[in-house]
Amino acid sequence: MSYVPSTPAERQEMLSAVGLKDWRELYRDVPPQMLLTKPLNIPHAMSELEASRAMQALAAQNTQFSLILRGAGAYDHYIPSIVKSVPAKEEFLTAYTPYQAEMSQGVLQSIFEYQTMICELTGMDVSNASVYDGATAAAEAAAACRDRKRRVTLISGAVNPDTIETVRTYCYGTNDELRVIPVKDGKTDPDALNELLTEDVSAVIVQQPNFFGLLEDAEALGEIAHAGGAQYVMSCNPIALGILKTPRECGADLAVGEGQPLGLPLGFGGPYLGYMAATKAMMRKLPGRIVGETTDSNGQRAYVLSLQAREQHIRREKASSNICSNEALCALTAAVYLSVMGPNGLAEAARQCMAKAHYLCEQLTKLPGVERVHSGDYFHEFVTTLPKREQVLAALEAEGILGGLPVEGGVLWCATEKAEKAALDRAVEIVKEVLAK
């Protein structure tokens, strides 16, 4: 099956219309010795039924856990039903970037609304239409902050390691330096930040809550960054922003983050959603698509792709980023999620995540040898020591529970609003049983 509608007779008719005898003549510019002479070494065509069976068999090889206590950048939240059905609508699904505003108002308006929601979450003035994920959003932010004199990026050691390595790779690309700010008791060390802040530092990147789940003293870090003449970039969990101080309130110039918690499935890592928002002063430094409001030839409100003079198709090698395709459908998903949650629903999700995580932490740390590794306030993730770590995690997995992520010094646990008390109690019971053996 190749989804080609034309019949063999029609194909022949079309070939004749072009003045050709057979399809080989279509490829007459290809040096003949390069043409493949035997079929590709991939399986024969399957019917839809057969392919569907084959894929279902692959899906069945994965474990579906009844309780996921692992986060570390990918979070198992409840996804309301409508959040799945809206982005599955075929027009949203099969359109491309809304280059032609006259037949893309639906996509453009949905992006404009998404931009507004991200601005509301972060307190910022302007948001782009999305980048690939939270890690690339941080890397793009680092690039957006650079100028001729200030080239060095500082990133907290308490940022997600995948984000740090992505930013490091982008810095390798442009031959710029990345310095990692040391961590003290799980949080960005302000004194170390102060020492690293030389005159060539362009941006300071921190994560809130950080990789260990801890809440950074974000305002204080921002003040230090600004005192050193650097821009301040905060990468925030968007569900936490339902209750936490906005990056703007913390003094950030750019707010970025991983939008996956906003209604996107875990999906073995993607597609996810990088959100990026900025103060008005940084608007023209933002990479990627931005939708703006204008009027049409009849004077009616209309939406268009705007400020395109920043982008690669206009500026080519002088563009700040090469991004073209983004994660528009994921941004739409996030917008639908935020629309049905509303301000109260989002805050409730955030509070429930926190409540469940704190309950889990209290119960776990009652067990012998299980202690919190850090002392600070936390949101929905925390690190504990864990004796017999491998056995404990295996015992949990055997009962359909994905335990926390093994990290240096213990385990990084996470709980979301999906975790029922009874399920958390059972998980703690299993840990207790293994430790008692």
Q: Which of residues 190-209 bind another protein (CB under 8 A)?
A: none
Please tell me whether residue 329 binds another protein under the rule CB under 8 A: yes
User: Could you say whether residue 63 binds another protein (CB under 8 A)?
Assistant: yes
- 269 burial level (CB within 10 Å; 0-12, 13-18, 19+): exposed
* CB-neighbour burial class of residue 313 (10 A; exposed 0-12, middle 13-18, buried 19+): exposed
Question: What's 159's DSSP letter?
Answer: S
Determine if 210 is a binding residue for another protein (CB under 8 A): no
Q: What is the DSSP letter of 216?
A: P
Closest listed residue to residue 363, CA positions, set 317, 289, 415: 415
State which of positions 66-105 bind another protein (CB under 8 A).
Answer: 68, 70, 72-74, 76, 78, 80, 82, 84, 86-105
Residue 372 DSSP one-character state:
B
Among 223, 229, 251, 339, binds another protein (CB under 8 A): 339
Closer residue to another protein (CB): 197 or 417: 417
Considering only the stretches 14-22, 178-186, 197-205, 365-373, report the one whose residues sit in contact with another protein under the rule CB under 8 A.
14-22
Nearest one of 239, 234, 275, 237 to 252, comparing CA atoms: 234
Q: Does 125 bind another protein (CB under 8 A)?
A: yes
Q: Using an 8 Å Cβ cutoff, are 359 and 417 in contact?
A: no
Q: CA 46, CA 32: separation in Å to the nearest integer?
A: 30
The residue (of 192 and 414) whose beta carbon lies closer to another protein is 414
Span from 157-165, 197-205, 221-229, 429-437 in contact with another protein (CB under 8 A): 157-165
Restricting to residues 342-371, name those near another protein by CB under 8 A: 342-349, 351-352, 354-359
- 29 versus 436: smaller Cβ distance to another protein: 29
The binding track of 370-399 with respect to another protein, each residue x by CB under 8 A or -, is -------x---------------x---x--
Q: Pick one of 21, 35, 148, 368: the residue that binds another protein (CB under 8 A).
A: 35
Q: Which of 161, 191, 195, 227 binds another protein (CB under 8 A)?
A: 161
Q: 3-state DSSP call for residue 202?
A: strand
The CB density around residue 117, as the number of other CB atoms within 10 Å, is 21
Quick one: 58 or 436, whose CB is closer to another protein?
Answer: 58
184 vs 174: CA distance, rounded Å: 30
Q: Which amino acid is at 49?
A: L
CA distance from start to end of the chain: 57
x-marked contacts with another protein along 238-277 as a string, rule CB under 8 A: ---xxxxxx--x--------x------xxxxxxxx-----
Cα separation, 212 vs 416, in Å, equals 15
DSSP state of 113: H
